[in-house]
Amino acid sequence: MKKIGVFTSGGDAPGMNACIRAIVRTAVYHGIEVYGIRRGYNGMIKGEISKLESYSVSNIIQKGGTILRSARSKDFMTKEGRKTAYEQLQKLGIEGLVAIGGDGTFTGANIFFEEYGLPTIGAPGTIDNDLYGTDYTIGYDTAVNTALDAIDKIRDTADSHDRVFFIEVMGRDSGYIAIPCAIGGGAEIVMIPETDTSIDYVVDTLRTGWSRSKTSFIVIVAEGDAEGSATDVASKVQEALPHMDARVTILGHVQRGGSPTAADRMLASQLGIACVEGLISGRQNEMAGIIDGKLTYTPFIDTITKDKPINPEFINMVNILSV
């Protein structure tokens, strides 16, 4: 393999730049030309592709976002769009790809491989940590710490004003961000898609706490919870407990930004190296990940179709520690 391409796709995540850096320098180390594809599959179709050198990725390991930019591509969902993308890669003689992203990115890569056989290795880049085949995804640790810092500050004002705060964190259909935020932030309740936490339970828990002279509360709501958004939950609870002073904070995209933590830089660097060396060794259509401290490669089809359950012990921890 003489030439490879690298791109980021879907939602950005802190540590993507660290991964790009590792991919480029690993390729250079092994004597392989590496090309950066800007704006994901969209840029692949439009030919926004340029050669990267070792100096191209200097001073980016500490930066959030992605220097290659990211975009969602409706055109790549069509056969015509994928054909154009393949032709653009062929013009430059690109023989393999490294895709940094989540399940949408890997779904596209899987289809692309089935149609054109172009080897692709994926690096799991998403704050949601919802990909099967790795214990942690690039950006997850940073997102949790960003959210936790905000929750600590909100706790201060909640205590000062005897309020209950409903704090919404990201995670799409996963509670992986919400759980450590609830445990680390000392929340009384956590609501995640993986469990059924009813409004009645929330009301009863808050009422019981109030009867014990507890005057401030933190409720963490994952954005994909069945009861709705933090605003929806707060509105329903306020109807049942009108004497409580409820407030809502939606942390939103602040969780995606910022300088990556040391853990994310290490993970991104390790997986970036693994992606390139995976291509060199003949691997294709797989995602590189870390499970129990060991490097693993998981077929894209498993990564995008299999669930990654949350450890029930963590959920039980929230219940025990909120008493």
Catalytic residues: 128
Judged on CB neighbours under 10 Å (0-12, 13-18, 19+), 302 is middle
- Cα separation, 283 vs 295, in Å, equals 14
Any bridge partners for residue 165, and if so which?
Answer: 218, 247
β-pair type (33-37, 120-124): unpaired
Write the DSSP symbol of residue 99: E
CB-based contacts of 262, cutoff 8 Å, min separation 6: none
β-pair type (49-52, 120-124): unpaired
- Cα separation, 103 vs 9, in Å, equals 10
CA distances from 60 to 67, 121, 259 (A): 8, 22, 10
Spell out a b/e string for 21-42, using b for 16 or more CB atoms within 10 Å of the CB, else e.
bbbbbbbbeeebbbbbbbbbbb
Paired tokens of 260: 């990556």
